[in-house]
Structure 1
Amino acid sequence: MAGFFYVLDTDARILFVDDDPILREFAQVNLASPHAEIDVAADGLEALDRLAMTRYDLLLVDLEMPRLDGFGLLERLRADPATAHLPVIVQTGREDVEAIDRAFHLGATSFVTKPLNWRLLTYQMRFVLRSSQAEHRVRLAAASEAA
């Protein structure tokens, strides 16, 4: 393959949640594409505020943050029917078994460790978005059959 191309090639609104302001800026630069809009939040509470105002297709969430950490955010997302199926990629410096198991137990869709390889992350995001869209279509079909 020759030349640069955008990996995120379908329309998506993405929320990147991390308390590191430099990482939030990097996310906006490295993840944005003509199809993907990247918003940022500094912690779980700010993320919940943004979710109350805007519909997102994917969240990228750090685990270690002030006020409301990523674990707490995952718990709240999965407890709310409006966000119960929202895909969440955990992006964190933690790679211990306890953090991995707890994140998936609480409903994480995927898990990546820092330092982030932005290109690999965009491929993972593309996969998670496609998978989430397919799952959504299956849920809609099942609901229409049940009705």
Structure 2
Amino acid sequence: MKSNSWFYNKDLKPQGPLSLQEMRSLIHRGDVGPYDLICNDSLGEWKAACEFAEFERSLFPAGQTFMPGQDIVEDEKEWVLLSPSESGKSLVQQGPYSVRELREMLTTQKVVGEQYIWKSGLSGWCRLQDRPEFAGLI
């Protein structure tokens, strides 16, 4: 009988085994995003974390505090962005930025969808590309 262990991919290397609660904790902190590939060894296939019923959308920082159909406040400076330092050896927090500013930065390619963002109310950092506020720009 197979166990019910979870694995995730980091730098092209499987990490694990983890319990369901450990995987949920990684997701909640933003260490595993909704479209990161994970595997449950009882199923034996890798797929996006958001495709597993065990992980509700609100567990992912990328889906927290967003209500479909609710207007997006575009000018409130509430987002913090992680960017490479001048030396490129570390990350620095920049901002706060508004949704409008970040959309403009994406459009002009001053930032990329793989960069991490955070705002108050989220349980962890998430990628710009995973937030609905920036859908269609990446």
Please indicate, yes or no, whether the TM-score normalized by the shorter chain is above 0.5.
no
**Which is richer in helix?**
1
TM-score, scaled relative to structure 1: 0.23
The TM-score normalised by the length of structure 2 is: 0.24
Structure whose residues are more often strand by fraction: 2
Kindly name which structure, 1 or 2, has the bigger radius of gyration based on alpha carbons: 2
